[in-house]
Structure 1
């Protein structure tokens, strides 16, 4: 299926808004603060035959709908997303943890998407009674996209490449096979909206000419699956040098995903939409 690019960026944005809302609410209520606690191997593959284009080999290693379920993580600066993709069910789970210092609490926000259906679960730790204060249940909440400010921005299943590695790899003029399953190339972040969305937190214009040759390293495991891609983004303008790291792992070992049922789920209350819409 065609990869939509947006859910990861949406969740990072929503989590930032939600944390700010929670912090303001906790401060205004004068809550007492308590101490809260919150709760990948890569293989190697033989070097590609000299007659095989390394770029084609690398693109073929990107997960597709024929792959078994797997786990993933993406690290973009200080933001880390973790989750599971279940291609057979057209399902994905994506989570982000954010910590607030004043007042001190931790928010774990998890979305589960099956096709165009989505559910949200929020877990708050560090401040007694914050769930009740925000009127947020601890169960899964079924979302109605019509109640979001921008329904087109609602988290939905986006395919099997949540880190948008294929969009990055495609921009490389050449890819070099380094042996032992390692590949290297340079991405051109100015080549279209797909790659720009893949690095949505980067000010591409500020990078100038450097945006056209951003080095990356990728590793393909012995099973032929892409296990990691690291994009080394240089400093530019006011932004510091950073790395975008995508990892795919536990192929065939990740849990299967299904719609929450029974007492695991309820309709999302108005408070959930207030949180999501900011």
Structure 2
């Protein structure tokens, strides 16, 4: 996602001389530019936190997303599936308290999906939240091996609350103190200026132990194919359950 570290700042095209847009000189601007570049094109994404692994593909321009979320529930692997296609989103819980719902999809509008699952971020086509997280970064340095380190103010990161990275209420956030306002991160950027990895080192706060959130990006530009569930794969659910799944109650 970095716009490329062009030593001379000028790119001479074969068809003629054109001035390339220079890469940001500031490491913090470089990380943000890299995140924006990755989040603007098709890519494979993975994300892992303790007991949860996410894998799939996203195509922001094509407004397509497919993810499998695998959760370890006391030794049992439960797979939740997410599909988003245009203005329609679908969620299959994998396991629920409602009979017959485990292997059925629940349909939402894409806007509702912003709060409908484990990857409920403000932008469903940036499922790891790379743009929002790096936008909330407060410092960055480039290391000798070409990677980046710095800090992120999670209290200012869009979507961090709904994703579970920070407490859900202002009171809980206040009790967490300052530990979430300077969370260390590590980032990797490829030669094309794209973010390829982002690790957040979440500190312990309250009863939550310290842990790492690791996101990786690959297969840039490869098509992402999403198929809407067939009619027989869809579940009709009561409004109360729909509101529960979208955290609107």
Q: TM range, normalised to the smaller chain?
A: 0.5 to 0.7
Q: Name 1:164's counterpart in structure 2.
A: 129
Pick from 76, 80, 83: which aligns with 2:56?
A: 83
Cα deviation digits, residues 157-199 of structure 1 (max 9, x gap): 9354221122222233331111444111111223x36264375
Whether contact under 8 Å (2:198, 2:215) holds in the other structure is yes
Unaligned stretches of 5+ residues in structure 1: 1-44, 125-129
Cα deviation digits, residues 46-102 of structure 1 (max 9, x gap): 69899711111111111458854211122233322222102232011122123445x
Q: Name 2:13's counterpart in structure 1.
A: none
Pick from 250, 258, 268: which aligns with 2:234?
A: 268
Q: Name 1:115's counterpart in structure 2.
A: 86
Whether contact under 8 Å (2:51, 2:72) holds in the other structure is no
Shift, 1:218, TM fit: 0.5
Secondary structure, aligned partner of 2:179? helix
Whether contact under 8 Å (2:154, 2:165) holds in the other structure is no
Q: CA RMSD in A?
A: 3.8
Identify, as 1 or 2, the structure richer in helix.
1
> Please, what TM-score do these two structures have when normalized by structure 2?
0.68
Structure 1 residues 25-36: aligned runs within 5 Å: none
Q: Name 1:200's counterpart in structure 2.
A: 164
Residue 227 in 1 paired to residue 191 in 2?
no
Shift, 1:106, TM fit: 3.9
Q: Name 1:183's counterpart in structure 2.
A: 148
Unaligned stretches of 5+ residues in structure 2: 10-22, 168-172
Count of residues paired in the alignment: 216
**CA distance in structure 1 between the aligned counterparts of 2:124 and 2:114, rounded to whole angstroms:** 16
Whether contact under 8 Å (1:67, 1:87) holds in the other structure is yes
Secondary structure, aligned partner of 1:83? strand
Whether contact under 8 Å (2:154, 2:183) holds in the other structure is yes
Cα deviation digits, residues 217-250 of structure 1 (max 9, x gap): 1100122210111111111222211112121112
